[in-house]
Structure 1
Amino acid sequence: MEENISESKPNQPGPSPFAQTYFHGTKAELKLGDFIEVGLHSNYGQKNKAKYIYLTATLDAAIWGAELAAGEGRERIYLVEPTGPLEDDPNLTDKKFPGNPTKSYRSKHPFKVVGEITIWQGHAPEQVEAMKAGLAKLKAQGIEAIED
């Protein structure tokens, strides 16, 4: 009995249109090809120079980032590509959501802006105000963003 043996190569990983998508919510006006980098003033906490930059793999978390960002600009959500390693965002994963269901990450390496989501639905104004009130309460207690 003769076996049918295929001599084809095993599947090789290659470029895929289904690679992980990352989002960055902000009020900053950026252009395609710009880099989001550490060292700029943070949108949160004491507004110190950021030691990390943040991104997420969920649109909802990016929407929160845009809605809660400091500044007067228009809320924006950018598609970004990380240029270096990512780590779980300890502001969310270790304290509030074990296991990182928000898929929120941070890095010390730049993110390249590769697109912008221009049509998205924000949270209800009452939800945003409740979140801002909760953050203000934490700030009053001396609890702010982790900046390790």
Structure 2
Amino acid sequence: MNIQFDPRNNIVKLCLQGMGMDDSGKSEEASLLFFKAWSESTDDFERFLSAYFVARHQNNISDKLKWLEVSLEFAIKLNDDAVKSAFPSLYENIAKCYEELCDPDKAKRNYELSDSYKGTPSDKGPFYHGTKADLQVGDLLTAKGASNYKPELRMNHIYFTALINGAGLAAALAQGDGIERVYIVEPTGDFENDPNVTDKKFPGNLTRSYRSQEPLKIIGEATEWLRQSPEDIRQWREKLANNKGEIIN
């Protein structure tokens, strides 16, 4: 099973609104939005996601543990590579709850489970890279290129995703005046979850975003993906310009 993370999903939007309230110091409003997301969830993915955010807003450790375990329960049922990327964080947070509840045996067990899910992602692709460069099948995409978001920054990794619409967005935001291109790529070496998005806003790496220091080989080109409107692109560029976070290079 492969979950297609969609920012247009109603539950995802409610969670994003809740995070926005949180960032503005409106904790009670955020909590209401997260509970609304839970009550309106219609499938296991939405329940996993909303329960995770409800858990984060619990002041009582026992309540926080309960909601984390609910989130984990639905994550396990999904049996999805992208959702599995949240397991290290989920198990670690559960372990911390057991520590606070003075149950060292369960804490140790959950820390061990957290560690067991860390490492090379199990995602089998297909993988995509969005750019405005005119390239050919067989070409290699390599690191040390300029960042799409901070042109003065040379990247130590080459980035890619298993979500074609994510690659399409990257192509739209890429530097240059060329045609937006989404290439189907094959990693030639080890790769890892992109730390710029993993466990940041959402648990794990739901956008299936990866990076490698080894080249990506172009094995084809995609032509169909969700195109961004000029207004969408303007808003994305504005968000990136206002982003206070540093790029983990």
TM (norm. structure 2) is 0.48
Show the counterpart of 1:37. 142
Q: Secondary structure at the match of 2:232?
A: helix
Q: Which residue of 2 aligns with 1:146?
A: 248
**Which of structures 1 and 2 has the larger relative contact order (alpha carbons within 8 angstroms, sep 6+)?**
1
Aligned equivalents of 1:33 and 1:136: distance in 2?
A: 34
Give the drift of 1:129. Answer: 1.2
2:175 equivalent to 1:73: no
Report the structure, 1 or 2, having the larger strand content. 1
**Equivalent-residue separation in structure 1 for 2:148 and 2:241 (angstroms):** 14
Matches within 5 A, 1:101-112: 101-112=206-217
**Contact 2:165–2:225 (CA under 8 A) maintained in structure 1:** no
For 1:15, the equivalent position in structure 2 comes to none
C-alpha distance in 1 between matches for 2:215 and 2:194: 16
Of 117-126 and 67-76, more deviation after overlay is shown by 117-126
User: Would the aligned equivalents of 1:58 and 1:102 in 2 still touch at CA under 8 Å?
Assistant: yes
Q: Please state how far the C-alpha of 1:36 moved relative to its aligned partner.
A: 0.3
The alignment's C-alpha RMSD in Å is: 1.5
Contact 2:165 2:226 in 1 (8 A): no
Looking at structure 2, the residues matched to 47 and 33 of structure 1 have their Cα atoms a distance apart, in angstroms, of 28
Q: Conserved in 2, the CA contact under 8 Å of 1:25 and 1:62?
A: yes
Contact 1:55 1:106 in 2 (8 A): yes
Q: Deviations over 1:75-127 (max 9, x none)?
A: 11000000011111111113223211100000101000000112333123222
Query: Please, which runs of 5 or more residues in structure 2 have no aligned partner?
Result: 1-123
Cα separation, 1, equivalents of 2:202 and 2:169: 15
In structure 2, distance between residues paired with 1:45 and 1:146: 12
For structure 1, list consecutive stretches of 5 or more residues without a partner in the other structure.
Answer: 1-18
Please identify, of 63-72 and 38-47, the stretch whose mean Cα deviation from structure 2 is larger.
38-47
C-alpha deviation, 1:29, in angstroms? 1.1
Find the aligned partners of 1:42 and 1:86 in 2 and give their Cα distance: 18
- Tell me the alpha carbon deviations over residues 7-62 of structure 1, each in whole angstroms, 9 at most, x when there is no partner: xxxxxxxxxxxx52000011111111000001222322243222011000011211
Measure the CA separation in 2 of the matches of 1:131 and 1:41.
19
User: Whose helix proportion is higher, 1 or 2?
Assistant: 2
Which residue of the partner structure matches residue 3 of structure 1? Answer: none
Which moved further from structure 2: 114-123 or 31-40?
114-123
Tell me which residue corresponds to 1:82.
187
Secondary structure of the 1:95 match is: coil
Residue 237 of structure 2 is aligned to residue 132 of structure 1: yes
Aligned to 1:20: 125
